Amino acid sequence: MPEDDSLDRKVRKLAVEHAETRWLALRLDDDVKELRTDLRTVQNTLLEQQNILLEHTARFDSVDLQLRSLTQMVGQVLERFHEEPTED
């Protein structure tokens, strides 16, 4: 009968190890789900920030073009001041 006791102990030990393994696997699955949720949140935030950056870049480019145009107009006006007046 000692063999039966040893076999029973081995079976119980394996059953306990199996239960622990299942518990660890479930915990790992939960952790992976949480990480994926966090990753999606970060990706959505990053996408939102990129869209805001693109919007601001477009506004900056527009203002830059307007400023260049205004600078050219001021330059043309200043050149006219330096022209000698024509006699009529």
Q: How confident is the model at residue 12 (pLDDT cuts 50, 70, 90)?
A: very high
Q: Taking the domains of the chain in order of start, what are their residue ranges? A: 1-81
Answer whether residue 2 shows pLDDT above 80. no
As a whole number of Å, the CA-based R_g of the chain is 38
Please give the pLDDT value at position 88. Answer: 60
End-to-end alpha-carbon separation of the chain, Å?
132
Q: pLDDT, tens digit, for every residue of 31-63?
A: 999 999 999 999 999 999 999 999 999 999 999
